[in-house]
Amino acid sequence: MKIDRLIALIMILLEREVVSAGELAERLEVSRRTIYRDIDTLTFAGLPIFTNQGAMGGVGLMKSYKIDRLLFTQQDLQAVLDSLNSYRQLFGHKELTYVLEKLQSFHPGGVADSAGGKFAVDLALNQGNESLRGLLGLVEIAMNEHRYLTFDYVGRDGGGSSRKVEPYRVVFKESSWYLQGYCADRKDFRIFKLARMSGLQVSSEAFAPRKFTPLPMDGAEWMSRDWVEVTVRLHRSVADKVIERFGEGHILRAEGDTCLATYPIINNTYGYDKLLAFGDKCEVLEPLDVRAAFQAYVCSILEKYKSNGQR
């Protein structure tokens, strides 16, 4: 939005004595021509902006217009900047560039480094999620204007259905995008994975927003019935995967190059696929019925390869 860019431009000018048009264009991710138009706009609005010509020239604000900026500590600003930078990686909102510029201008020691804090969170998206992010624009329109989203959906069982949903919240969890909303077809709040959607459209039909409480994303609402705590023997090179997902307490003990661990799964093919992700570095030990079922599942996969690709 232009107003956000203008505010960010003012903040930069408050921060620096003189800034070149080229640097302003680069920091605000626009053309020099746009910067010149913005400067004209601010001048007409009464801001005391001056310009200097030459190699060392640029744009600045009269010193009488400068204000005190001691609002945040360096640590406060760095924490906020790091968070916003991570958010920008996920959603790609250009407006966040302007927000970051505003905050940087309040740094007590000069320009804060929005990507140089002591802790960095890299949320850069893979190619698949980068393309899915394009759907977020439609979802955002529907949420802001309280309009239904319609799409075809493939469930975990592979079955397809057409859905009409009131969108309320977008969640990015474990490298996947999810939509939380009220499904008009199922008459209940549901969670939908964006990668399972196709033909997503914003309906012209509006809805009256319901009271919405964010839905839990731990899977408990659909995993509780088939939840089984499986004991596995893992190569120590993949023990970190258990710790990251369930905590260090699930590592029972080390045995040379392997370790015993408990790994809760859903007792069906969905859960077996989680175990397959460990490849040959995992052996299911208990319960015995899960071990037998997992063995049968692996054998069924192997059968597909015994024909050497012939059908």
pLDDT for position 11: 76
> Tokens standing for 3?
């107003």
What is the predicted pLDDT for the residue at 92?
Answer: 60
Q: Say how far apart CA 76 and CA 161 lie, in whole Å.
A: 47
State residue 70's pLDDT score: 46
What string of DSSP letters covers 216-285?
P-SSHHHHGGGEEEEEEEEEGGGHHHHHHHH-GGGEEEEETTEEEEEEEEESSHHHHHHHHTTGGGEEEE
List, in sequence order, every beta strand (DSSP E) within the chain: 49-52, 58-61, 147-154, 160-173, 176-183, 188-193, 197-206, 227-235, 251-255, 258-266, 282-286
pLDDT in tens, 228-262: 999 999 999 999 989 988 888 999 999 889 999 99
Mean per-residue pLDDT over the chain, rounded: 79
Nearest to 294 by CA among 311, 277, 269, 257: 269
CATH of domain 2-65: 1.10.10.10
Indicate yes or no: pTM above 0.85: no
Per-residue model confidence (pLDDT) at position 105: 58
Q: How far, in Å, CA of 20 to CA of 24, rounded? A: 6
CATH 2.30.30 range(s) for the chain read: 129-216
CATH node for 129-216: 2.30.30
**216-225 pLDDT tens trace:** 876 555 444 5
- In what side-by-side order are the strands of the sheet with 160-173? 188-193, 176-183, 160-173, 147-154, 197-206
Choice among 4-18, 28-42, 172-186, 229-243 with the minimum mean pLDDT: 4-18
119 pLDDT more than 80: no
Q: Give ranges for CATH 1.10.10.10 in the chain.
A: 2-65
Does the bond joining 48 to the residue before it have cis omega, within 30 degrees of 0?
A: no
Q: Give dist(CA 205, CA 243) in Å, integer.
A: 46
